[in-house]
Amino acid sequence: MSDDDPTRRTALRLIGATAAASGLATAATAQENGSNESNESSGDAHEGMGDDADQRPIILAGRSEYWYGIAPEEIEGEENPTLDLAAGTEYELVWINADGAEHELIIETADGEELEESDSSEEAGEAVSMTFEASEDAAEYYCEYHPEAMRGDVELGDGFDLAPHEHGEHGHGMVGNESAAENSSE
């Protein structure tokens, strides 16, 4: 039952690429068949996602100690990263179960009212995808099962830049020349 959701497959493919690059390959390669970028990615477009299909997902890894940022670049490697969202914008958030403990991501208001919740997962390597429209009342996100350790802020403003990467380009042209130069060392 796990393989018939095209959204999930797309997410896994994205994660495969991103996670390998950020040293999280162990968690992510437990998924599927290890077919990374080679054959199945005919073109960068997500298929059949409708709406905001061009936008890249926010990607986290979940472990009992913290949520770990994978994408976008702004949160890569951060523990319980702040999620920059723009109210009214639709987001896809994907999280990977990194340790096989049961996790479930919930977004709540400052008053503790639940706004969104993902499916739960207790399988290492599994990716859980959720799509939601950012509410102006969103304040924090946390794990249902580890609500203290796995908790971070939601900050409403302009939101992350999740525009798709152009072919052959690395980094965002608009972030500024200096950071582009820093990152180009490899």
**Element (H or E) spanning 175, and its range?**
none
Q: Please state, as a whole number, how many other Cβ atoms lie within 10 Å of the Cβ of residue 112.
A: 9
Within positions 12 to 51, which residues make up the interface with Cu ion, using CB under 5 A?
none
The residue among 9 and 103 lying less far from Cu ion, judged by its C-beta, is: 103
Rounded CA separation 61/77 (Å): 10
CB of residue 30 to Cu ion, shortest distance in Å: 17
Name the residue with the smallest CB distance to Cu ion: 143
Site string for Cu ion, 127-156 (x = CB under 5 A): ----------------x-xx---x------
The residue among 99 and 133 lying less far from Cu ion, judged by its C-beta, is: 99
Rounded CA separation 16/5 (Å): 17
The residue among 143 and 156 lying less far from Cu ion, judged by its C-beta, is: 143
CA 127 to chain centre: 10
Q: What is the side-by-side strand order in the sheet with 58-63?
A: 66-71, 58-63, 90-97, 127-133
CB of residue 62 to Cu ion, shortest distance in Å: 6
Contact pick of 56, 103, 108, 138 for Cu ion (by CB under 5 A): 103
How many residues at the interface with Cu ion, by CB under 5 A?
A: 5
Do 15 and 7 form a contact (C-beta atoms < 8 A)?
A: no
- Interacting residue ranges for Cu ion, rule: CB under 5 A: 103, 143, 145-146, 150
